[in-house]
Each structure stands twice: as structure tokens, then as C-alpha cells.
């Protein structure tokens, strides 16, 4: 029984952000170095060569951002905590100024009637832990649980709904296999070790949080509907589903990795990696599940491209799976992701069937070029239409019987979009790249009106 998830007769709404993408102030108040600082400083890693050192300067402008959330009329704000602000080298000494920042943030939300929900890990691993092996190393899971408890001890009186990880698939496979996210490593099948340690960290943290009385511990997954193109070998489609979806869901629901996954990830059959009790700890550990959805995944047979077509950035993110490419149909957003709200509806219905857990859409939104500006206001009809169709898909899934509690838009502010730098805008509020001034876009105004009913 969860206690504090939204539970009204209609969907709850929220807006989401993530620490490294908006805070800036990366050297202030004792914050340690994160893997994203290091990765962003690597030539060629980020499309525009930029980093999160200033970002939206939300470290200083958090009150203004809390006011934007409150004015929008959503009841919830999803934020993440930067581990290197709290424990700068990953283990050991706690930095009180880091905790004080999140205190201020949480209080300024609550004062304005907004309920905060926190995520402990949205990818900013302390660099010191990466230097010791990062998520390939078992100790990182224990360090994560300790860190989560430090945060919970301080904020848990006011923040009741927590997620351990955001999109561990990206952390493990984009970070340690494809190398397109921090820490930028290309370790092939060893990335499955990272996946296991992320889940172990989730399980350890959930156990400790439950022992401390929390009943609202979730995890946020970027699950995807897998829609193979004609001619895709069944084993390839199954492998993609295994590495994208089942590697997380099976341990959570069954406390096991399935046969199809072990075929592509024999690493997960190792008793040295998956120790006795690890998966029992994960089984049943989530009280709720966050689903982040942007686009369906359409694996297809590899077709030779003599014209040197750009490789799909996720091509190497499925180690052990026979080579596939990813097809993307029209229409697409500015980041090249297919717009398909039916994928969200299917995913929510299937995920509820599979898990029986209360679900929240913890991220959904779209990047567009935002090049239609009237009187200083971005007229983002494309983004508005994307949000409207995906909210409708969420409502349909709810009507079909899936227990969906909320819909949280990604994202409040234009921000540092990881490997894309500042070249892709997902915000419903424009942020001036020089002054950091915030201006609500037309999509923000539309959502505001809609929520007024
Ligand atoms: C998700 C991330 C989020 C944001 C969106 C566009 O994968 O969780 O931080 O970058 O994609």
C-alpha cells in the first residue's frame, strides 16, 4: 500500500527537471565533480561543446522556478538530487551546504502548494566513484544506498514520494556500452554488470527506505514498446525487449532474469556478479513505477548505407543482441524521435498488466525548434499538440483499467539536454541562454488553462 502517491479521481499533473540539466553552480558550496562534468569536458562528447556549469542557474533561481510550477497549476514537481552536492566524493563526508540547497528548494515548493517528488539518481555520479569503477563496481550500489539515506533523513519529513533511479537503462547502456552518455565508456557486455549494480543499488536503497518507514519508493524506467520492422529476426526483437524492458521488470516482479535475457547477457548468469539474495532484494521492492516515454522502438534488420548515413546513437546500446538498426517513422520531433502517442497507451496498459503497480508517467514531452516567436513568446503549437495527444493516451490507458496516478511533463525549462547540449529545447518555459531569463511558451499557457478546467 502506497501512502502518498496522488490518488484522486482524475490524473494528477506535474512538471519535471533534473539536477545537472538545470542547476549550474557546479563548483559552488562544496559540490564534488560529477561524471557529467568530466564527460562534458571531453572534446566531441557534447554536440555544442557546452556543459552544465551554468545551465539554467536554478541553483540560485529555484524560487522563481518554484513560482513557475505553482503558476502553471500542476500539483507536483519532480526534481532530482545531485549526489556530488551531498557527498562530494561519493562516500564519507556529507556537505551540509548541499543538503541546505534542497531544503530551500523543497520549502519554496511547499510554501506555494506544490508537492515535491524526488529522484536520488538522475545520472550525476560522483567522479571519485567512477574512478573506482563506477557502476561496474559492486561497491557503488552500497554507496548509493547510503547516499539515498542521507538525503531521506534530511528531506523525508517533507518529501514523501521518492524514486531511486531515473532511467537506469541510459545510465548502464548509453553510459557503459554505447559511450554516448557519461562516463562515455564502451565496455560491451560489461554494461550488463552496470545494469545489475544499478538494480542492486535500487534494492538496497528501497530496503533501507522501507525500514525508515517510507511506503512510496519507486523507480523510473524508460520502458519502450518494441515494434519490430518486417524482416527483423525474432531473436533480435526479443533481445532488444530483454535489454530495454525485462532486465528491470523481471527482477522487480519475479526476482529473476529470464532465459531470453541470459541468452544475450550471459554476464548476468555469473554467480560472482549476481550474488545470492541480490534479486530477492529487488523483488517486490518498488511501491510504484515511473514510466518515461517519448517514442516507440522499432528494431529492424541492418541495411547497408553506402551514403554514410549517421548511425543511430543507440545502435551499440544493446550488447549481446545481434546487430539491428532502429527505424524512425514520421512525424519526428527536433531530436529525431517519432511522435506516436499510441505507444504510450500500449506501454502503460502492458506495464500495469505486467507489474500490477501504481504507475506515474514521470516524463513525457518533446523537443521542437521553437522558431516561431511572436512578441517574445514561443508559439510552440507542435509541442502543445504533442502534449495534448500524449495526455489523451494516458487517460485512455487509465480508462482501460491501468492504475495511472499522474502525468508529469518533461520539462519545465529549456536546459542542458545531455549529449545534445543546448541544441534541443524540451521546455514549456524558454530560458534565454545568455541571461537565463524565463519566458513561458504557448504550451505552458495552454496547460495552465487546461488545468484551470
Ligand atoms: C530522458 C531523460 C531526461 C531528458 C529527456 C529528454 O531520457 O531522463 O533527463 O533528457 O530524456
The closest alpha carbon to 217, from 119, 361, 313, belongs to 119
222 ligand 1 Cβ < 6 A: yes
Q: How far is the CA of 411 from the centre of ligand 1 (A)?
A: 9
CB atoms within 10 A of CB 294: 23
User: Is 167 an active-site residue?
Assistant: yes
Cross-strand partners of 217 = 162
Q: Which one of 390, 410, 412 would you pick to mutate in the ligand 1 pocket, going by the greatest count of ligand atoms within 8 A of its CB?
A: 410
166 ligand 1 Cβ < 6 A: yes
167 ligand 1 Cβ < 6 A: yes
Instruction: Looking at 190-276, list the stretches that DSSP marks H as alpha helix, in order from N- to C-terminal side.
Output: 191-211, 234-241, 247-254, 259-264
Domains in the chain: ranges and CATH: 12-452 (3.20.20.80)
Predicted pLDDT of residue 311: 67
The closest alpha carbon to 249, from 90, 114, 357, 125, belongs to 357
418 ligand 1 Cβ < 6 A: yes
Sign of the CA dihedral with 46 first, then 333, 351, and 258 last: negative
Q: Note whether 102 and 81 are within 8 A (CB).
A: yes
Q: How far is the CA of 65 from the centre of ligand 1 (A)?
A: 19
Strands (DSSP E) contained in 214-366 are: 217-221, 288-292, 298-300, 325-327, 359-363
CB atoms within 10 A of CB 19: 26
User: Is 345 an active-site residue?
Assistant: no
Q: Note whether 46 and 109 are within 8 A (CB).
A: no
368 ligand 1 Cβ < 6 A: no
Coil, strand or helix at 373: strand
CA distances from 353 to 27, 241, 392, 422 (A): 45, 16, 20, 38
DSSP state of 173: I
Predicted pLDDT of residue 303: 74
Q: Please give the mean pLDDT across all residues of the chain.
A: 97
Q: How far is the CA of 332 from the centre of ligand 1 (A)?
A: 16
The CA dihedral of 15, 19, 21, 27, to the nearest 10 degrees, is: 150
In tens digits, the chain (453 residues) has pLDDT values of 778 999 999 999 999 999 999 999 999 999 999 999 999 999 999 999 999 999 999 999 999 999 999 999 999 999 999 999 999 999 999 999 999 999 999 999 999 999 999 999 999 999 999 999 999 999 999 999 999 999 999 999 999 999 999 999 999 999 999 999 999 999 999 999 999 999 999 999 999 999 999 999 999 999 999 999 999 999 999 999 999 999 999 999 999 999 999 999 999 999 999 999 999 999 999 999 999 999 999 999 887 766 655 567 788 999 999 989 999 999 999 999 999 999 999 999 999 999 999 999 999 999 999 999 999 999 999 999 999 999 999 999 999 999 999 999 999 999 999 999 999 999 999 999 999 999 999 999 999 999 997
Q: Which atom from ligand 1 is nearest to the alpha carbon of 417?
A: 10
Phi, psi values for residue 126, rounded to 5°: -60, 135
| Catalytic position from the list 23, 314, 338, 363 | 363
Give CA–CA dist 227/337, Å, rounded.
Answer: 14
169 ligand 1 Cβ < 6 A: no
Amino acid at each position: 500500500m502506497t501512502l502518498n502517491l496522488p490518488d484522486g479521481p482524475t490524473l494528477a499533473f506535474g512538471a519535471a527537471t533534473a539536477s545537472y540539466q538545470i542547476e549550474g553552480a557546479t563548483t559552488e558550496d562544496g559540490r564534488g565533480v560529477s561524471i557529467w562534468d568530466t564527460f562534458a569536458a571531453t572534446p566531441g562528447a557534447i554536440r555544442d561543446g557546452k556543459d552544465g556549469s551554468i545551465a539554467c542557474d536554478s541553483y540560485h533561481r529555484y524560487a522563481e522556478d518554484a513560482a513557475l510550477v505553482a503558476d502553471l497549476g500542476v500539483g507536483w514537481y519532480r526534481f532530482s538530487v545531485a549526489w556530488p552536492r551531498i557527498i562530494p566524493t561519493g562516500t564519507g563526508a556529507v556537505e551540509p551546504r548541499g543538503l541546505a540547497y534542497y531544503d530551500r528548494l523543497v520549502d519554496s515548493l511547499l510554501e506555494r502548494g506544490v508537492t515535491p517528488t524526488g529522484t536520488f539518481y538522475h545520472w550525476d555520479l560522483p567522479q571519485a566513484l567512477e574512478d573506482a569503477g563506477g557502476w561496474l563496481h559492486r561497491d557503488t550500489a552500497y554507496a548509493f544506498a547510503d547516499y539515498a539515506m542521507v538525503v531521506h533523513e534530511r528531506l523525508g519529513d517533507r518529501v514523501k514520494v521518492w524514486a531511486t533511479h531515473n532511467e537506469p537503462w541510459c545510465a548502464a547502456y548509453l553510459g557503459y556500452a554505447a559511450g554516448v552518455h557519461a562516463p562515455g565508456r564502451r565496455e560491451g557486455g560489461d554494461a550488463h554488470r552496470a545494469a545489475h549494480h544499478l538494480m542492486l543499488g535500487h534494492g538496497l536503497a528501497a530496503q533501507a527506505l522501507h525500514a525508515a518507514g517510507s511506503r512510496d519508493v519507486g523507480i523510473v524506467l524508460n520502458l519502450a514498446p518494441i515494434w519490430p520492422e518486417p524482416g527483423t529476426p525474432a531473436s533480435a526483437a526479443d533481445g532488444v525487449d530483454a535489454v530495454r524492458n525485462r532486465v528491470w521488470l523481471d527482477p522487480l516482479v519475479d526476482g529473476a532474469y529470464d532465459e531470453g535475457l541470459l541468452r544475450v547477457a550471459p554476464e548476468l548468469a555469473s554467480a560472482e556478479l549476481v550474488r545470492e539474495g541480490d534479486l530477492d532484494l529487488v523483488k517486490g521492492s518498488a511501491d510504484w513505477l515511473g514510466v518515461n516515454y517519448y517514442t516507440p522502438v522499432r528494431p529492424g534488420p541492418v541495411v547497408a548505407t553506402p551514403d554514410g548515413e549517421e548511425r543511430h546513437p543507440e545502435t551499440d546500446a544493446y550488447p549481446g543482441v545481434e546487430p539491428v538498426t532502429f527505424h524512425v517513422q514520421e512525424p519526428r520531433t527536433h531530436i529525431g524521435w517519432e511522435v506516436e502517442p499510441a505507444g504510450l497507451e500500449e506501454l502503460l496498459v502492458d506495464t500495469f498488466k505486467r507489474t500490477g503497480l501504481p504507475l506515474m508517467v514521470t516524463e513525457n514531452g518533446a523537443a521542437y525548434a521553437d522558431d516561431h516567436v511572436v512578441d517574445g513568446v514561443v508559439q510552440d503549437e507542435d509541442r502543445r499538440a504533442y502534449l495534448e495527444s500524449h495526455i489523451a493516451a494516458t487517460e485512455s490507458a487509465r480508462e482501460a483499467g491501468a492504475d495511472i496516478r499522474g502525468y508529469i511533463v518533461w520539462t519545465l525549462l529549456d536546459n542542458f539536454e545531455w549529449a545534445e547540449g543546448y541544441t534541443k529545447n524540451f521546455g514549456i518555459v524558454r530560458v534565454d541562454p545568455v541571461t537565463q531569463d524565463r519566458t513561458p511558451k504557448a504550451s505552458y499557457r495552454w496547460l495552465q488553462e487546461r488545468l484551470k478546467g
